Structures are given as C-alpha cells and as structure tokens.
Amino acid sequence: MDTLSALAHGFTIALTFENLGLALIGCFLGTIIGALPGLGPSNGVAILIPLAFSLGLPATPALILLTSVYYGAMYGGRISSILLNIPGDEPALMTTLDGYPMAKKGMAGEALALSGIASFVGAFFATWGLVFLAPQLVKVALLFGPAEYFALFALAFATLGGIASRNQAKAALAAGLGLGIAMIGVDGQTGVPRFSFGEVHLYDGIDFLVAIVGLFALSEVFIFLEHRGTEKATGDASGIQLGRLTPPLSMLKQTAPSMARSTVLGFIAGVLPGAGASLGSFISYSVEKRLVDKNNTFGTGDPRGVAAPEAGNNAAAGGALVPMLALGVPGSGTTAVLLAMLLALNVTPGPLLFTNNPDVVWGLIAALFIGNFMLLIMNIPMVSLFVRVLLVPPRYLMPAVAMISFVGIYGISGSTFDLMVMVFFGVLGWLLRKLDVPLVPVILGVLLGNQMEANLRRAMTISDGDWSALFASPLSIGLWLFAFFGFILPIVAGRFFRPKFARTDSEADPD
Amino acid sequence: MSDRIMGGLGLLLALFFIWQATLIKESFISDPVGPKIFPIIIGVLVGLSSLAILLQPDDEPEWPDFSRFFEVGLTVAVMVAYAYALPTAGFVVSTAVAAGYLSWRLGTPALKAVIAGVVISIGIYVVFHLILGLSLARGPWGF
C-alpha cells in the first residue's frame, strides 16, 4: 500500500501545468526522434540532455521531459518500420518484418494503429512493473556494501555486450576504453592529477555529456556522410495510403495473447542487465513466431508479428528503468544516457534515491503513466502528422542534428575545448561503429568509472587492503558468478543468435 | 586486417596507459589502494581484450573508398574550424556556414544548401535563444 500512496503523491507532482506541458513536448519530440531514421532514443536523448541542462530545468521536470522523449521514441520507431521498411531505431527492426508487408497489402493504417496499441499495452504494464519491482530491488540494494557495488558494476560491464553480442572481446575493449577515459582528471580521493598531461582543461576530467553527444549524435552524421548517395536511409512514404486508422476488433482479439506474452517477456528482458529494448522486441517476435505461427504467416504481414515486437520493445523500455533507478546501474544504451542526465543534475540514482528524492522518482513514474496516454492519442489519430515528418530528407536533418549538438555542448561550458573533445568523440564513435565495437560500454565506463573505483577503494579501506574482501559475502560471490557467466554465456550461446541478428552497424542506434 | 590493426593499437594504448599510471604521483596520505591500481587494472583489461581481438579478428568491415575518407576528414576540419569560429564570428554566421557545408556534402544542390544553412542557423537561433533563452556564442554583431 505504501507504494500506491507514493505513486498517488507522484501524481500530484506530475499533474502541474508545467510538467504536463513538458511531458507533452517530450512525447511529441520523442515520437519524431524515434520515427526519423538516423535518430533513435539514445542519440535523441543525448542531444537533449545538454539543452535541458543549460535551460536550467530542475531535476524532476528535466527528467519528465527526457523520459517522455525516451518512451516517445520507442513508440515512434515503428512508423518508419511499417511505412518505409526502414527501422526508425534499432528496437523497431523486428517490426519491419511484418509491418511493411502489412502496409504493402494496403493495411498501413491498421498496422500503425495496432502497433500503437501494442506499444501502449507494453509500456503501460511495464510501468506498473516498474512501480512494484523497483522498491523491492531497492530493499535488496540497501544490503549492498562497497564490495557488492563493485561486483555489481563488474556485472553490468560483463553483461553489457548482451546475449546477442558478436564479439565479447570488443565489448570488453569498449568498457575498458570508457573506464580509462573516466580516469582522466584529478583523483577524487587523494587529489593528484591523473592522465592529464599538464593540460589544465583535463583536470576536471572529460565531461560525460560531451562524450555521449559526440559518440552517439556526431558519429551518426559521419555515418550519413559516408553513405551519401547510396540513399540507404531515404525512402518514399508518399505512395502509401494510410487507410483506416482503427484496427478491427477481431484483429485486437487475435493479437491480444501475443501482446500479453510479449509484454511479460519484454519487461524481463528490459530488467536484466545488458539487454535493452532491441533484445526485448527480438525475443518477443521469435517466441511468438515459434508459438503461434501455425500457417507460416509471420513475415507476410501477420498482425501478431506487428503486435509482438512493439509490445516487447516498449515493455523492455519500462523494464530497463528498474535497474537504472533502483541500483543506479543502467542496462541499456538509452538508460545509460538517462543516468547521465541524473548525474548532470546532481541526483544520484540508486537505493537512496527512493528515500532521499521520492519526489523525483514518483513524479517521474506518474509522468510516465500520463505520457503513455498522451502517446496513445498522438500515435493513433495523429499519426499522419508524423508520417509527414518522415519526408524530411537526412541531408537537411543531419546538419540540424549536428548543429544542435554543438549548441547543447557549447551551452554548458561555452568552451571551444569541449567542442573539440566532442568532435574527437564523434570520429572515435564512427570508427568504433565501423569496427563493430559497441558504444554503450564506452558510455557506461565513462559514467560509472569513478564510482566503480571509489567503491573498490572504499571496500579496501574497510578491509585494510585485504583483496579477498571483494569476495567475502554470499551476495558479492553471487554477483561475481553472474558476471562471469554473463560474460562467458554469449561466447557459447552467441552462435545461436548471431545469424538472426543481421549486421546493423551503420544504422544501429544502440539500445 | 582492420581488427588486427585495432588490436595492435589497443595493445599499445594499454601499455602507454599502464606506463602513465605508474607515473602518477602518490600523495602522502593515501588509502590502501591508492590512485594507481585501478587504472592499471583497466590497462590490463584493455590489453587483454586487444590481444584477443588481435589474435582472433572478425570479418573485415566495409570501409568506404578513399574519397569518402577524405570527405569525413574534411568535415572534421570544418567542425574544428566551426568550434574556433564560434567565439569570434558569432553563432548565426558560423552555424549558417557549417550547416550549409554539411547539407551540401550530404547531397543538397549548392544553392539550396546555402538556404538550408541559413534556415537551420536562424531557426536554432530563434528557438533556442529567443524563445528558450539559451545563451549562444555572441560575435562582433551580438548574434
């Protein structure tokens, strides 16, 4: 009952004029960001963080704005999947399989409406899951000492490559790079400068916002520049008739069990570390295909094949917020970016967040509920508006994205040096993506590196330098075992997933 | 081959990182771990994963041909120039030039790209500066 009264309190916070307005703007922007190929949840949120930060929004409104964008992007990704056969972001990849054939059969309107409803179901129930699961996880997390936290960070890095990881060595390299970047600057505990080579600008360390915007947003510009002329990301939506925008009841009835199963699966995939929304939609689609595809209609425009991945990916988006809020350890790319937002606002996520800043947590969760209803309304009757946005060609869109990235970073510090660092990270991100090195571990390393070290050193101070203290409690041993198997398992099981996950390096938005 | 080069570079980076870590000056009061050990652990992690990539490389990625590399390089140069131009030439002018250049290189015909650059620049200025009140770089003309 505690939880429900806290939630009710959250609604009183979220239901202010300002917060509702921000949620509306966030949902709208998010849907556009998700729908546009080349802009996905993580780089969309990444560009907006510095802006929200420079605008001086307080923590709760800023978080409401950005999580609305996050949820909105998850809804929006399906629009271009269905109409153009180009996923608007990576989680929407599976939606192309049945969504586009449906559109070709003249059922584009039905597919959009059905996937909108599936998105709503997934996100709505996942938000309930968040309400009930997060406080439970907080209770566990309160038992954590520094040694357990250190193990938890190790677990997050070890599993971040995910079950679908193609090469664990590259995931490990990425994590190491991120952690290494976090080490630059003055050491928080002893005050000695590290890896700053006498450069004063580096004493403060590399600002993670600069790194994130460079890695995610600018690298996308370089990818487009490289593929210019091949027109891989421009499609023509003008020829498709939307048709009716309400799915027939029989279709809803037919797809309801798929939505229910996918919501559960997606939520679990989201909560687990290292598995974001992409895996949620992938697993949902595969399971549904195995369970209900009796007549081999999947892949030819089966409505269940549209409902399943959409419910799955939106449920996973909600599930991924659980570890991020309760433990302070994000499990996916976009939640890593949201974590950056919290850190930038001086809000430390983790178990103490629920006791110290209940307004932030519950206001946010209430805003998610409200945002969901807004998104449902935006995404069904108003979907044709977003379809028109898809017609903006990347050659106009990407310059604007690049410039807004610069504006955001310049707004924080007003320093040319930071802009240079951002360009450097843009190039680095481009190269790493070409080489199939995942970017999310880099970000997570930059974000969590200092905390991870601080926990290690705290644990060692308590044990007076006895390294076996890291493995002393059953809880930490359990976490280490999870981390170990989480790292090893993909090497064994990856062969099973690999052929199905197509190489998507150039258009992949990491989540 | 690309993976082997990356592995080799990663290995060098790891060695450099560990070497630099050993040079960190210890403060006279320190905790049992000190500022050096964690960076060294990271260096070892980077080194080991680079070694694994070096020994077992993936398939070659699709690299663009040389002209596209040049293109990316040129764009980087424009972005760097943009970063330096901001404080001296002001936001609107530098952004119009940079956005126009980007749009042109992404395939817009030259004249339209100029218009696109100006529109993007003024659009951002209006939305972010005039409406939202974000501070942008001020040039000699105040915008």
Please give the residue of chain A at the shortest CA–CA distance from B53.
Answer: A169
Residues B125 and B76 in one domain: yes
B26 touches chain A (CB under 8 A): yes
Q: What is the rounded CA–CA span in Å between residue A148 and residue A150?
A: 5
The H or E element containing residue A186 is strand A185-186
Residues B11 and B32 in one domain: yes
* Shortest CA gap A3–chain B (Å): 36
Residues B90 and B124 in one domain: yes
Confidence of residue A436 (pLDDT cuts 50, 70, 90): confident
B139 touches chain A (CB under 8 A): no
B106–A228 CB contact, under 8 Å? yes
Which amino acid is present at A225? Answer: L
* The predicted structure's pLDDT at residue B81: 93
The lowest-confidence range among A171-175, A378-382, A448-452 is A378-382
* Shortest CA gap A60–chain B (Å): 18
* The predicted structure's pLDDT at residue A177: 92
Q: Enumerate residue ranges in chain B where pLDDT < 50.
A: none
**Which range of residues forms the domain containing residue B85?**
66-131
- Contact status, residue A182 vs residue A450, Cβ threshold 8 Å: yes
B49 touches chain A (CB under 8 A): yes
A423–B86 CB contact, under 8 Å? no
Confidence of residue A505 (pLDDT cuts 50, 70, 90): very low
Please give the residue of chain A at the shortest CA–CA distance from B118.
Answer: A400
The H or E element containing residue A393 is none
- pLDDT tens track for B89-129: 888 899 999 999 999 988 888 888 999 999 999 988 888 88
Contact residues, B window 112-131, toward A, CB-based 8 Å cutoff: 116-117, 120-121, 123-124, 128
Among A222, A399, A460, beta carbon nearest to B32: A460
- pLDDT tens track for A472-498: 888 889 889 988 888 887 777 655 554
- Please tell me the total count of domains within chain B: 2
Residues B127 and B70 in one domain: yes
Please give the residue of chain B at the shortest CA–CA distance from A435.
Answer: B61
Residues B86 and B125 in one domain: yes
Residues B24 and B75 in one domain: no
Residues B120 and B73 in one domain: yes
Task: Enumerate the β-bridge partners of residue A194.
Answer: A185
Please give the residue of chain B at the shortest CA–CA distance from A169.
Answer: B49
A403–B120 CB contact, under 8 Å? yes
Q: Which of A309, A243, A247 is nearest to A113 (CA)?
A: A247
Please give the residue of chain A at the shortest CA–CA distance from B42.
Answer: A176
Residues B92 and B114 in one domain: yes
Task: Enumerate the β-bridge partners of residue A185.
Answer: A194
Q: Which of A42, A217, A92 is nearest to A504 (CA)?
A: A92
Confidence of residue A275 (pLDDT cuts 50, 70, 90): low
Q: What is the rounded CA–CA span in Å between residue B46 and residue A126?
A: 37
B143 assigned to some structural domain: no
Residues B81 and B44 in one domain: no
Residues of A whose CB is below 8 A from B12: none
A195–B84 CB contact, under 8 Å? no
How would you label A160-169 residue by residue, b for 16+ Cβ within 10 Å and e otherwise?
Answer: bbbbbbbbbb
Q: What is the rounded CA–CA span in Å between residue A262 and residue A132?
A: 19
Residues of A whose CB is below 8 A from B48: 172
Which of B17, B54, B66, B102 to substitute to test the interface with A, most A CBs within 10 Å? B102
B73 touches chain A (CB under 8 A): no
Asked if ipTM goes beyond 0.85, one says: yes
Give the residue with greater pLDDT, B22 vs A239: B22
B140 assigned to some structural domain: no
Q: Where are the domains of chain A?
A: 2-497
Residue A506 has pLDDT above 50, yes or no: no
Residues B36 and B86 in one domain: no
The lowest-confidence range among A41-45, A173-177, B49-53 is A41-45
Residue A468, phi then psi, degrees to nearest 5: -70, -10
Would you state the torsion angle of the CA atoms of residues A130, A64, A343, A52, taken in this order, to the nearest 10 degrees?
A: 160
* Shortest CA gap A258–chain B (Å): 37
The Cβ-side half-sphere exposure at B85, using a 13 Å CA radius, reads 17
Q: Where are the alpha helices (DSSP H) in B23-109?
A: 34-55, 66-89, 91-105
Confidence of residue A163 (pLDDT cuts 50, 70, 90): low
Among B82, B106, B132, beta carbon nearest to A394: B106
Please give the residue of chain A at the shortest CA–CA distance from B91.
Answer: A407
B68–A222 CB contact, under 8 Å? no
Q: What is the rounded CA–CA span in Å between residue A259 and residue A288?
A: 9
B60 assigned to some structural domain: no
* The predicted structure's pLDDT at residue A176: 92
Mean of the per-residue pLDDT values of chain A? 82
